[in-house]
């Protein structure tokens, strides 16, 4: 159950990338000569930063997800708004504003890499590397990170609002937001398992607790009653919407399969999480049961899905650029 170093064979990775998602020119040894210590440097800085912030690993993992789901894995989520450069800034999108975090450690990694191999490692690749390191440090699986992405030169707030999942999303909407990136139902459930660590703001779940489907005072009936009382105490009606609740009340800072066990007990914090198990007849239910029963199967599926997601609409070759500063275009 404590398996924490599952590696997907390179042959499978090749089939996965070229057979499913196109001909992206990524490889796990992309920086073997140009910047061989990239992973070592990133790991050291994430380990150091996480000592002062137990939530850091979850924050960094979320950055990679929110990057790839908006016009592909191009580092656009890191860009500060700069109208003169045509950059709206995805950080201000509803799903990101005031909650997306972890940018400072990405800046630190970029600075350190520019000192030893300037103009070589993209910010998009830093996000992919940092996500794998963060999951591993939290006790989750490891995988061979495919590298060679280049950075985009723009960001679009409207695209972020449209593409990123929302708490009240229905199963149909969730599925469509994943399928547009060639991510299937298994990917949806496996990647949702990243909610096994981290926090969520009360603003995301307040309607579910106090005003479900617009009925004042009513709550989502799929929430187990005792757990509902706990959540209502943490997020009282009319109080702070920025207070945070653990996504996984069982082991909030560890990457494990408790998230799926929580769903089985109707202890999913976000509506779009619980819906994976509470939707009778949906193909997601059997996947939740499978991952709840076997952490090993969850880890293998999660690693495979992370590789698929990391290959969404990547820029390679001469497309895009290698930013000198992850927050602004060159």
Answer yes or no: do 125 and 187 share one domain. Answer: no
Rounded to 5 degrees, φ, ψ at 314 are -80, 150
Q: Is 64 a catalytic residue?
A: no
pLDDT, one tens digit per residue, over 170-205 is 999 999 999 999 999 999 999 999 999 999 999 999
Give the 3-state secondary structure of residue 267: coil
Give the 3-state secondary structure of residue 315: strand
In a domain, 29, yes or no: no
Q: Return d(Cα 6, Cα 54) in angstroms, integer.
A: 23
Answer yes or no: do 127 and 57 share one domain. Answer: yes
248 marked ligand binding residue? yes
Answer yes or no: do 160 and 179 share one domain. Answer: no
70 marked ligand binding residue? yes
Instruction: Tell me, yes or no, if the pTM score tops 0.75.
Output: yes
What would the mean pLDDT of 106-125 be, rounded to a whole number? Answer: 98
Is residue 51 over pLDDT 80?
yes
Write down the number of H helices and E strands in the chain. 14, 2
Catalytic one of 64, 66, 210, 267: 66
Answer yes or no: do 178 and 136 share one domain. Answer: no
80 marked ligand binding residue? no
64 marked ligand binding residue? no
Q: Which residues contact 203 (CB under 8 A, 6 or more apart)?
A: 241, 242
Q: For 81, which DSSP code?
A: P
In a domain, 244, yes or no: yes
What would the mean pLDDT of 32-52 be, rounded to a whole number? Answer: 97
* H or E stretch covering 273: helix 271-278
Give the chain's domain count.
2
* H or E stretch covering 246: strand 244-246
72 marked ligand binding residue? yes
CATH number at residue 199: 1.10.420.10
Residues spanned by the domain of 114:
37-165
In a domain, 13, yes or no: no
- Give the per-residue pLDDT at 119: 97
């Amino acid at each position: 159950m404590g398996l924490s170093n599952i590696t997907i064979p390179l042959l499978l990775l090749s089939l996965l990338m070229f057979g499913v998602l196109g001909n992206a020119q990524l490889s796990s040894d992309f920086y073997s000569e140009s910047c061989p210590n990239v992973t070592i440097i990133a790991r050291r800085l994430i380990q150091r930063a996480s000592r002062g912030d137990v939530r850091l690993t979850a924050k960094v993992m979320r950055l990679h997800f929110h990057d790839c789901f908006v016009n592909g894995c191009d580092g656009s989520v890191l860009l500060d708004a700069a109208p003169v450069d045509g950059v709206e800034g995805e950080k201000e999108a509803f799903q990101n504003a005031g909650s997306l975090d972890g940018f400072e450690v990405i800046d630190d990694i970029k600075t350190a890499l520019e000192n030893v191999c300037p103009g070589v490692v993209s910010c998009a690749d830093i996000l992919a590397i940092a996500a794998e390191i963060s999951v591993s440090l939290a006790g989750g699986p490891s995988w061979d990170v495919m590298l060679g992405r280049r950075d985009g030169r723009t960001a679009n707030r409207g695209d972020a609002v449209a593409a990123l999942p929302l708490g009240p999303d229905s199963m149909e909407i969730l599925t469509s937001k994943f399928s547009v990136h060639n991510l299937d139902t298994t990917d949806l459930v496996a990647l949702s398992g990243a909610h096994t660590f981290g926090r969520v703001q009360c603003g995301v779940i307040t309607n579910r607790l106090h005003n479900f489907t617009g009925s004042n005072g009513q709550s989502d009936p799929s929430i187990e009653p005792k757990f509902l009382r706990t959540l209502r105490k943490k997020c009282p009606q009319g109080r702070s919407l920025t207070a945070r609740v653990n996504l996984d009340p069982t082991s909030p800072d560890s990457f494990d399969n408790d998230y799926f066990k929580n769903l089985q007990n109707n202890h999913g914090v976000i509506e779009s999480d619980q819906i994976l198990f509470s939707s009778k007849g949906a193909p997601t239910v059997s996947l939740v049961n499978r991952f709840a029963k076997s952490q090993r199967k969850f880890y293998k599926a999660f690693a495979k899905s992370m590789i698929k997601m990391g290959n969404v609409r990547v820029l390679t070759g001469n497309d895009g650029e290698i930013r000198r500063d992850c927050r602004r275009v060159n």
